[in-house]
Amino acid sequence: MSEPTASNVSDLRGVLWDMDGTLLDSEKIWDVAVAELSLELGRVLTAEVRTSTLGNSMHGALRKVFAHTGTEATEQSLGWARNWLTDRVGQLFSEGIPWRPGAKDALGLAREMGLGTALVTNTERGLVETALETIGREYFDFTVSGDEVEEGKPHPAPYLLGASLLGLDPSHCLAVEDSPTGSLAAFRAGCSVLLVPSEVEVSAEPGYVLRDSLVGISAEELRSAWCDARSATSS
């Protein structure tokens, strides 16, 4: 990565954190629950369909499962499935959610750097509150859940709201993501993106900086990720 200058690194003012697959190794929990829902609807879930739902909003993920199982997507059926899935994931979350490698230290680092921080997730508020029992509310100035915006990721609305709550222009924010869906949402919002893959293979795009893991990330590397992602879109 290129070396940031003293003038431009100071423009990193906030970090917007994705949750599932980025901070918490919770996608495996969703794997279980979504597979069980698919069986409830009459068909075994395939790996391809599950992968296609990663990073989606609840509504978007359910529609893909419904298409796979041949279930008519009515307001009533979607409402039932949403309640079923939320209850099941809540049960699994309450049994404990493992951290992604290096994530807890990275959260603490952003706080030590004096940056504004927000959690920005497609997961709905009730489950976010359960997950925060593991993560810790003290790491965030604000939290944005999927049911608090009109459209979830890959729409930019969640990241636009996260930056707005921090009082920042998105261009001064680094979004930390694990999925193509979430990364696209952050990029569309105008954020730089640090992409740390978990469940699916990803490739670096202009505006993204790819990193294998959050383990051992330093303040300089966090600033460099923001700077390099911005440089890639302006070159």
Task: Pick the last residue of a domain from 46, 62, 94.
Answer: 94
Q: What is the pLDDT of residues 42-66, one digit of tens each?
A: 999 999 999 899 878 889 999 999 9
Residue 49 amino acid letter:
V
The string of pLDDT tens digits covering residues 205-225 is 888 999 999 999 999 999 999
Q: Are residues 138 and 220 in the same domain?
A: yes
Total domains in the chain come to 2
How far does CA 72 lie from the centroid of its chain?
Answer: 28
| Residue-range definition of the domain harbouring residue 208 | 6-25+98-234
Per-chain mean pLDDT for the chain: 92
What the block records as the tokens of 23 is 């901070």
What is the CATH classification number for the domain harbouring 215?
A: 3.40.50.1000
Token reading at 222: 């966090």
HSE-CB at 159 with a 13 A cutoff on CA atoms is 32
For residue 89, give both structure tokens. Answer: 């994931």
Same domain, 19 and 37: no
159 and 53 both lie in a single domain: no
pLDDT value for 205: 82
Q: Which residues pair with 210 in a beta bridge?
A: 195
Residues 105 and 187 reside in one and the same domain:
yes
For residues 39 and 198, the answer to whether their CB atoms sit within 8 Å is no
**154 in any annotated domain:** yes
For the chain, what percent of residues have pLDDT higher than 90?
A: 83
Q: Are residues 114 and 187 in the same domain?
A: yes
Is residue 86 scored above 70 in pLDDT?
yes
Same domain (yes/no): 199, 142: yes
Say if residue 129 is in the same domain as residue 206: yes
Beta bridge partners of 195: 177, 210
Residue matched to tokens 């609807």: 41
The total number of residues written for the chain in this structure: 235
Specify whether 116 is located in the same domain as 201: yes
The domain that holds 82 is classified in CATH as: 1.10.150
111 and 84 in a common domain = no
How many angstroms separate the Cα of 21 from the Cα of each of 35, 69, 103, 106, 230? 17, 25, 10, 14, 24
Q: Do 21 and 32 reside in the same domain of the chain? A: no
Asked if residue 1 is part of any domain, the answer here is: no
